[in-house]
Amino acid sequence: MIFEVFRQERRGQPFAHAGSVDAPDLEFAEAWAREQYGRRQESEALWVVPREAVREVHDFPDELNKTYHRVDGYSLKAKLKEARERAGTAAP
């Protein structure tokens, strides 16, 4: 069975995919993962997950081009210039 291993380098950091191990069961998979990713104290924690348990999700279409919920939907430069001119101020 293939188990995917995710590793956290330091407390508080996200778990990132590190690789996979081939083991007959979860207990063995943990032992392999410890040897591969923890024996020099390089990891804070590991997640060992059967590959089948991982649902991969791809493709996030944006047919309506919804820029209003992204930062690139807001170009303030021209408006700010106009507002400053109206107020008679300069950029701080």
Kindly list the residues in this chain that would bind another protein in the complex (CB under 8 A).
2, 17-22, 24-25, 28, 32, 35-37, 42, 56
User: What are phi and psi for residue 77, nearest 5 degrees?
Assistant: -55, -55
Measured from the CB atom, the residue of 54 and 83 that comes closer to another protein is 54
Q: What is the bridge-based pairing of β-strands 45-50 and 2-8?
A: antiparallel
Q: How far is the CB of 63 from another protein (least distance, A)?
A: 23
Q: How many helices (H) and strands (E) does the chain have?
A: 2, 3
Measured from the CB atom, the residue of 24 and 92 that comes closer to another protein is 24
Beta strands in 16-66 (DSSP E): 16-22, 45-50
Q: How far is the CB of 56 from another protein (least distance, A)?
A: 7
Q: How far is the CB of 48 from another protein (least distance, A)?
A: 14
Give the whole-angstrom CA distance, residue 41 versus residue 55. Answer: 29
Measured from the CB atom, the residue of 42 and 82 that comes closer to another protein is 42
